[in-house]
Amino acid sequence: MKTDYAITFFYYEDIVPIARFYEETLGFELVLDQGLARIYRVAPNSYFGIVDGNRGHLRHQPQSAALFTVVAEDVEGWHAKLSAAGVPDLTELRRGRFCDHFFFRDPAGYALEIQRFHDPAVAALFR
């Protein structure tokens, strides 16, 4: 069966401050506001949603074990932007085995990563 795209959802106790973070700090484009959920376009055919964990299909958790990774060429630019915004738990830029990357947290504690693959052949697998 063919698929068209995917949406990853994170569940929160209160999505109001979280919406400001994803819309204003990260600059994600709001595609659809469903009231209890907001869906953002992260890149062409790449979507991320936040859900009121008091009303959605699942319930918010006190601590998540999920990591949301955004792949971008300008990892350094993203790091500078988030550093200037005072984003919590922002790590230094790291050169890993497969990518340049850094980590941070959203206001509710979910872990996020911005990365760029070193090998252009590997990066091409995701285009």
Q: What are the pLDDT digits (tens) for 99-120?
A: 999 999 999 999 999 999 999 9
Q: Residues, the chain, total?
A: 127
Mean pLDDT, residues 80-104 taken together = 95
Q: Number of helices and strands (H, E) in the chain? A: 3, 8
The predicted-structure confidence for 34-48, as pLDDT tens digits, reads as follows 999 999 999 998 999
Tokens found for residue 56? 């959605």
- Return the C-alpha torsion angle 47, 52, 54, 59, nearest 10: 30
CATH 3.10.180.10 boundaries in the chain: 1-56
CATH topology of domain 1-56: 2,3-Dihydroxybiphenyl 1,2-Dioxygenase; domain 1 (3.10.180)
Position 91 scores a pLDDT of: 98
Residue 58's alpha-carbon distances to 39, 92, 117, in angstroms, are 16, 33, 33
Position 77 scores a pLDDT of 97
The CATH code of the domain at 63-127 is 3.30.720.110
52-84: pLDDT as tens digits? 998 888 888 888 778 999 999 999 999 999 999
Residue 1 has pLDDT above 90, yes or no: no
Give the model's confidence band at 33: pLDDT under 50 very low, under 70 low, under 90 confident, else very high. Answer: very high
Q: Are 50 and 15 in contact (CB under 8 A)?
A: yes
pTM above 0.95, yes or no: no
Q: What are residue 15's phi and psi, to 5 degrees?
A: -85, -10
Which residues make up the CATH 3.30.720.110 domain(s) of the chain?
63-127
